[in-house]
Amino acid sequence: MMFRRLYWVTEVSEAGNVRVAGVYTSIPDLIEKGLENGAVTRISLVKLDSCDGPLGRWESPSFGNMREDLQAYVATGEFALDEIQSLAMAISGLAGIKA
The pLDDT tens digits of the residues spanning 38-48 come to 788 899 999 98
Query: For residue 57, is pLDDT > 50?
Result: yes
Query: For residue 80, is pLDDT > 90?
Result: yes
Backbone angles phi, psi at 38, to 5 degrees: 70, 10
Query: For residue 55, is pLDDT > 90?
Result: yes
Strand-strand pairing, 40-47 and 56-59: antiparallel
Of 12, 85, 77, residue with least CA distance to 43:
12
Query: For residue 86, is pLDDT > 90?
Result: yes
Say what the pLDDT of residue 94 is. Answer: 76
- CA atoms of 34 and 10, how far apart (whole Å): 7
- CA atoms of 78 and 70, how far apart (whole Å): 10
Query: For residue 28, is pLDDT > 90?
Result: yes
